[in-house]
Structure 1
C-alpha cells in the first residue's frame, strides 16, 4: 500500500475543503458588507448594528436576495374579508413602501404583511381578518429541497434497477453507505425486525433535514435560506413524527399509558404524566433542531460582523479564521442534527411498536 500517495490525497482533500470554506466565508463577509445599514441610500454615517444584518439573514423573507441590492421579489397571497388578493412583493420597493391593494393598503413590518390605515399605522381590526399564504423564501427553499430529493432518489432507484447484482456506480455508490448506515445503525437497533416498514420515512426525514441544513450553509443564491432554523418547519416535522409514532403504537404501548402497572388510585396522576410525555418527546425534537441550526448561523454571522463593528482590517484575519472553523463545525452539526433527529424518531417508533416481554 502506497502510504505516501494516500497521505498526499488526504492532504489535498483537506486543502480543498478549507479553500471551499474560505470562499464561502468571503462570500458571507461580502454579502453582509453589502447589506450593511451603513450603506444606505442617504449615505448617512451610522454606527453598525449587527443584529439587523444577522436577523435579516436568518429570518424568512418575501424577497430572495441575490447580491447587494439585487433581489427576486416573491408572490404575496392574502385571504382577506373580501376574498383573495395577490401581488408581488416588488410593490413594496425594498420593503419600506406601502401598497394600495384592491381591498386594503398593506405594508411590511419585520417582513410580515400588515394592513395599515391612511396614516400608515397597523389596522388591528382588519389584520384579524387577513390570512397570509404568501410564497416566501423558506417555501421556495423547501421546494428546492423536495426537488433535489426526488431527482436524487429517482435516479438512484433507476440505477439499482438497471444495475442488478452489480457494484454501485456514481451517485449510487455515494448514497449507498449513507442508506446502509441509516438502516443498520439507526433503524434495525431501535425498531427491530419491523424496521423495513419505516425505512422510507426515516430516509426521507434524514435526507430532508440534511439537504436543508447544507443549503443553509451556502451564502449565495439558491442557498442562504434557514429552513431548519425556522421553528414552523421543525414543528411540522415533530408533529409528523408524533403522528407516525402514535398511529403505529401497539396495544402494549397504549396499555402502558392508560393502564400502567401501578395501583388504580394512581391512574389520575399517571394519565396526565404519560400524555405530557407523548407531546414532550416530539417537542424536544422540534426545539433541538431549531436551536442548534439557528445558533450556528448566528455565531457565524456575529463573527463576521466583528469586522464591521471594529471598523478595522486588523481584526479581519482573526474573524475569518474563526468563521472558517465555525463553518467546518456547522457542517458537522448539519450531519449530526439529521442523524439525531432520525435516531430519536426511530427510538420513539421502536418503543411504540415493541412487543411485550414476560
Structure 2
C-alpha cells in the first residue's frame, strides 16, 4: 500500500508539473526554438555533472569529480571548474595542461594549443582523449543504488535476527526475496545446486529493478539504459554460466549426443556462437527497453513545447507511459534474472541419457 501510494503521489506531481514547465519555457522557446533531439539525448546520456534544472548560466547542477589519466599523471578537479573561453568552449587548465569539454566528452589540448580547432566533420584536430575515470552521473547513480541495496538488505537481515516472523518493511521484502529464490532460482536450477546462485540472482534482480526505478525519478540517471552497464551485467552472467558448466553442458555444445556426426560438425559452431549471443541478447534487451521508454516519455513531453494546443493530450499520454514504465522496470529486472537462472540451469544440468 505504501509503494502504491508513493507511485500515485509521484504521478500526481508529474501530472501537475508538466503545464508549469511548459509555461515557464514559453519565452525561451520563442527566442531560441526547441531542439527535441538535443533535449532527449541530453537527458538519456551520461554527463560529468548532475543537471537539476535550467540551461546555460541559469542552470542548476551538482558538480561531480573529473578524474583523468594523462601522460603527465592523474589530473582531478570538479566539473564546475569548466569555464567558457573566447570561442565559447568549455575549458579548464590544470598542471600546465588545457582540457576542453565537447559534446559531453573531455579532450586534452596539445601543449602548443590554447584553443581547440576542428576539421570539416567537426572533430578536434589538436586534442586527444585522455583516459577518463570520472565519477559521472551514471556512476553516482550506481553508488546511490548500491547504498540503498546495502541499507535494504541490512535492515531485512537485522529484522530476521530478532524474529523469524516478518513485519513492516521486512514483510514487504520477503515475498520478493522468496519469489526470486523459489520461482526463479529453484525452479530453473538443479535443486541440489541452486542455493549458491541465489545471492547473485537476488543482487541482479534488485540492482536492475532499483536502478530502473531511479531512472524514472525527475532528473534521474539513465544507468540501466547505458550499454556499458548492461554489458557488464551480461559479461558477469556469461562468466558465471560458463565457469559453472559441467561435462554434460560442454558435450551438448561441441559434440551433441544422439546426433549424426556430419550434423555435429555443422551444429557445433552454431552452439559455440550461442555461448556469446545469449548474454548479448540480455545486454541489448535491457538497454533497448529502458532507453526506449525514456525516449517515448521525453518525446511526449516535447510535444508540449512544440504544439501548445497538444499540452493536455501529451501530458495524459506521458503519465500513462510513466505508469507503464513502472511495470516495465519490474518486468525487465525479472526477465534478465529469469534468463540468467535459465542459462545457469542449462549449464549445471546433469546427464539424463
The equivalent of 1:255 in structure 2 is: 251
Q: Does structure 1 residue 355 correspond to structure 2 residue 350?
A: yes
Aligned counterpart for 2:82 among listed residues 92, 96, 105: 92
The Cα shift of 1:29 comes to 6.8
Which stretch of structure 1 is more off in the superposition, 73-82 or 257-266?
257-266
Partner of 1:212: 211
Partner-residue secondary structure (3-state), 2:32: coil
In structure 2, what is the Cα distance between the partners aligned to 1:136 and 1:347?
A: 34
Q: 1:73 aligns to what?
A: 63
Q: Is the 8 A contact 2:22 2:304 kept in 1?
A: no
Provide the secondary structure at the position in 2 that maps to 1:45. Answer: helix
Aligned pairs for 1:306-321 within 5 A: 306-310=303-307, 312=308, 314-321=309-316
How do 1:184-195 residues align onto structure 2 when only pairs under 5 Å count? Answer: 184-193=182-191, 194-195=193-194
Q: Which whole-Å CA distance do the structure 2 matches of 1:78 and 1:17 have between them?
A: 40
Any conservation in 1 of the 2:18–2:315 contact (CA below 8 Å)? no
CA contact (8 A) 2:227 2:283 kept: yes
**Counterparts of residues 1-358 of structure 1 (less than 5 Å):** 17-27=7-17, 39=28, 45-68=31-54, 69-93=59-83, 96-116=89-109, 117-121=113-117, 127=128, 130-164=130-164, 167-193=165-191, 194-220=193-219, 224-261=220-257, 262-266=259-263, 268-310=265-307, 312=308, 314-358=309-353
Question: In 1, Cα distance between the equivalents of 2:22 and 2:66?
Answer: 26
Query: What is the count of residue pairs matched by the alignment?
Result: 336
CA-CA distance at 1:142 after TM superposition: 0.3
Question: Does structure 1 conserve the Cα–Cα contact (< 8 Å) formed by 2:19 and 2:311?
Answer: no
Q: Distance in 2 between matches of 1:14 and 1:138?
A: 27
**1:186 match: secondary structure:** helix
Shift in CA distance, 143/79, structure 1 to aligned 2, threshold 3 Å: same
CA distance in 2, matches of 1:283, 1:54: 26
**Are the equivalent residues in 1 in contact too, given 2:65–2:134 (CA < 8 A)?**
yes
Structure 1 unmatched runs, 5+: 1-9
Cα distance in 2, alignment partners of residues 136 and 297 from structure 1: 19
SS of the counterpart of 2:69?
strand
The CA deviation at 1:123 is 5.2
CA distance in 1 between partners of 2:253 and 2:83 (Å): 55
Change in Cα spacing, 1:19 to 1:87, as seen in structure 2 (3 Å) is closer
User: TM-score, normalising length from structure 2?
Assistant: 0.88
Contact kept, 8 Å, 1:29 with 1:304, in 2: the verdict is no
Q: Deviations over 1:183-232 (max 9, x none)?
A: 22111211130221111000000000000000011104xxx110000000
Q: Which moved more, 1:247-256 or 1:67-76?
A: 67-76
